[in-house]
């Protein structure tokens, strides 16, 4: 996968990939299966990357992508298949049956587990991942001979390549490497955040529960039959130190309560917690010269719609297909159209995530007019078959074009 044809001591590969998150790993493994070489450069250690807690809801398309790569053994045995989810408001639950409405489902399987599976498979297949690569910088991608400089194991290196894939997230080096004035930025910052916890407690429901409550939004999810993932809407400037375990559980119980008092969350030891700001962000185009952006490097969605990981996978499916076409035929049409093709799905996902966020979160100023609009929307999507069907197909994931 790596040669030294570019000169003495200068390794060369076909695709240099910055970032060993899901986007970079999926791309590298898709390319490897077609005989296309790549090198992944990752700033963090392998242990850090494989244990950072992120999303856990996989659309059917992402599950299918893992199956096609043959990395779904643990997913099939440990993943939790969900054919529906619940919207809870005014103290009552309303189930959205995705399987019945659109013929698809989701699977709950932690992003860190996806990363472990892909890392193991890529390294076992002879792929190259350089963890703890520092001082990464991208060069000459506006021409025909891009390269990446970096340090690794105390030495400076230059990686020559045909193309660069920027899969290094929102705070990575890839997007800022594009010259000023090339990219158009679309952004919305929401006036609230999520306080998320992981707890050693059996999930209180077999499916996700999205709760709209007068005190703010809450979500019950899970990571396994013995680990619950829970979220609370808080203000962006909220401090974790102000939230004791007791306060967290009391607030969750209030927001998840039902009118008849029959529901109660199972409580347990909280072993992870954090506050996540909410934003929507898109850059256009997602490519410049021989640099292609994918995943969080190009777009961010609020987590309410559970789309971040899934749209990143869609990005690299498009990119891998375009690169395969180029190396097999020399045709650049798919590469030139990469950004436009990705953005059609991205903006659909952005709209759905905005819709879910706006419908479920209490306005920060408790605007009574907006709260009545929310209640009207919730009643509509839970009573109209057409509205339920649209909600189900967007949540489960629209098929790729």
Q: Are 250 and 223 in contact (CB under 8 A)?
A: no
Helix, strand, coil percent content, the chain, rounded in steps of 5: 40, 30, 35
Q: Which of 122, 213, 288, 307 is catalytic?
A: 307
The closest alpha carbon to 217, from 163, 289, 296, 276, belongs to 276
387 three-state secondary structure: helix
Answer yes or no: 109 catalytic: no
b/e 2-34 (16+ beta carbons within 10 angstroms → b): eeeebeeeebbbbbbbbbbbbbbbbbbbbbbee
Query: Are 25 and 50 in contact, with CB atoms under 8 Å apart?
Result: no
DSSP string, 16-59: EEE--SHHHHHHHHHHHTTT--EEEE-SS-HHHHHH-----EEE
Residue reference for tokens 């007019």: 369
Rounded-to-integer distance, Cα 309 and Cα 295, Å: 8
Annotated catalytic residue, options 146, 203, 302, 303: 303
Question: Known catalytic residue: 395?
Answer: yes
Is 186 designated active site?
no
Q: Helix, strand or coil for residue 335?
A: helix
CA-CA distance, 175 to 186, in Å (whole number)? 14
Full strand arrangement of the beta sheet holding 134-139: 134-139, 147-152, 155-160
Q: Which of 82, 116, 122, 361 is catalytic?
A: 82
399 preceded by a cis bond (ω within 30 of 0): no
Distance CA 297, CA 174 (A): 7
* Catalytic-role residue among 190, 210, 327, 338: 210
State phi, psi for 127 to the nearest 5 degrees: -70, 165
- Give catalytic residue positions: 82, 210, 303, 307, 395
């Amino acid at each position: 996968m790596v040669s030294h044809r570019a000169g003495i001591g200068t390794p060369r590969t076909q695709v240099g990939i910055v970032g060993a998150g899901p986007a970079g790993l999926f791309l590298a493994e898709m390319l490897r299966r077609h005989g296309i070489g790549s090198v992944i450069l990752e700033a963090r250690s392998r242990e850090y990357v494989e244990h950072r807690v992120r999303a856990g809801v996989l659309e059917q398309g992402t599950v299918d992508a893992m199956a096609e790569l043959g990395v779904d053994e643990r997913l099939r045995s440990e993943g939790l298949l969900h054919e529906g989810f619940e919207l809870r408001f005014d103290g009552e639950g309303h189930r959205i049956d995705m399987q019945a409405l659109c013929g698809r489902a989701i699977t709950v399987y932690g992003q860190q587990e996806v990363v472990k599976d892909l890392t193991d498979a890529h390294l076992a297949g002879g792929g190259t991942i350089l963890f703890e690569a520092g001082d990464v910088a991208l060069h000459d991608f506006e021409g025909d001979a891009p390269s990446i400089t970096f340090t690794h194991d105390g030495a400076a290196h230059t990686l020559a390549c045909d193309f660069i894939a920027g899969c290094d997230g929102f705070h990575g080096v890839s997007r800022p490497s594009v010259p000023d004035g090339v990219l158009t930025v679309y952004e919305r910052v929401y006036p609230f955040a999520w306080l998320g916890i992981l707890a050693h407690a059996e999930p209180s429901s077999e499916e996700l529960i999205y709760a709209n409550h007068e005190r703010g939004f809450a979500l019950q999810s899970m990571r396994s039959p013995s680990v619950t993932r829970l979220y609370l809407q808080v203000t962006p400037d909220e401090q974790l130190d102000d939230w004791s375990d007791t306060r967290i559980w009391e607030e969750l119980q209030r927001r998840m309560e039902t009118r008849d008092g029959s529901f109660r969350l199972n409580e347990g030891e909280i072993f992870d917690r954090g506050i996540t700001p909410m934003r929507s962000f898109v850059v256009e185009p997602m490519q410049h010269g021989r640099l292609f952006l994918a995943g969080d490097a190009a777009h961010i969605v609020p987590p309410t719609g559970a789309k971040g990981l899934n749209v990143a996978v869609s990005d690299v499916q498009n990119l891998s297909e375009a690169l395969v076409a180029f190396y097999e035929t020399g045709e650049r049409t798919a590469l030139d159209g990469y950004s436009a093709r990705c953005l059609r799905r991205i903006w659909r996902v952005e709209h759905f995530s905005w819709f879910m966020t706006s419908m479920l979160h209490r306005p920060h100023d408790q605007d009574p007019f907006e709260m009545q609009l929310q209640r009207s929307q919730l009643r509509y999507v839970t009573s109209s078959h057409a509205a339920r069907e649209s909600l189900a197909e967007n949540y489960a994931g629209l098929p790729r074009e």
